Amino acid sequence: MRPGTVARPPTPKLSAMCRSIQRLYNVEPPATGDEVRAAARQFVRKISGSSGSSRANAEAFERAVEAITVASRRLLGELVSGAPPQDREAEAARRRRARELSRNS
């Protein structure tokens, strides 16, 4: 390292989105409130490293789910796209085909 430069931590590698979290924006039919909440719960599980909350952490876990649900609904309501909505069933079929191909190869 040259004198006078500051060491920076390495940039983390970006990995693919968790496969159980599905796109909720610009899809037809639109995402339901239950789907938004389920995605928020999955996100909290992912970042907390837990599949559920213990009694000791239940309130914090649920507050996080609620806050992320609210933020996600606001985000989905404010996003603008010129692209036509994607057909959710067609996307699900495409993912199933890709999964089958990867299993068979």
Expressed as residue numbers, the domain containing 39 is 27-104
- Please indicate, yes or no, if residue 36 is contained in any of the structural domains: yes
- Please indicate, yes or no, if residue 7 is contained in any of the structural domains: no
List Cβ neighbours of 16 (8 Å cut-off, separation of 6 or more). Answer: none
Query: Model-level pTM greater than 0.75?
Result: no
What integer pLDDT is reported at residue 87 of this predicted model?
93
Q: Count Cβ atoms within 10 A of the Cβ of residue 65 and give its class: 0-12 exposed, 13-18 middle, 19 or more buried.
A: buried
- Please indicate, yes or no, if residue 16 is contained in any of the structural domains: no
- Please indicate, yes or no, if residue 13 is contained in any of the structural domains: no
Q: Tell me the per-residue pLDDT of 50-99, one tens digit each, with 9 for 90 and over.
A: 877 788 999 999 999 999 999 999 999 999 999 999 998 998 899 899 98
Averaged pLDDT score across all residues of the chain: 85
**How many distinct structural domains can be found in the chain?**
1
Residue type, 62: E
- Please indicate, yes or no, if residue 85 is contained in any of the structural domains: yes
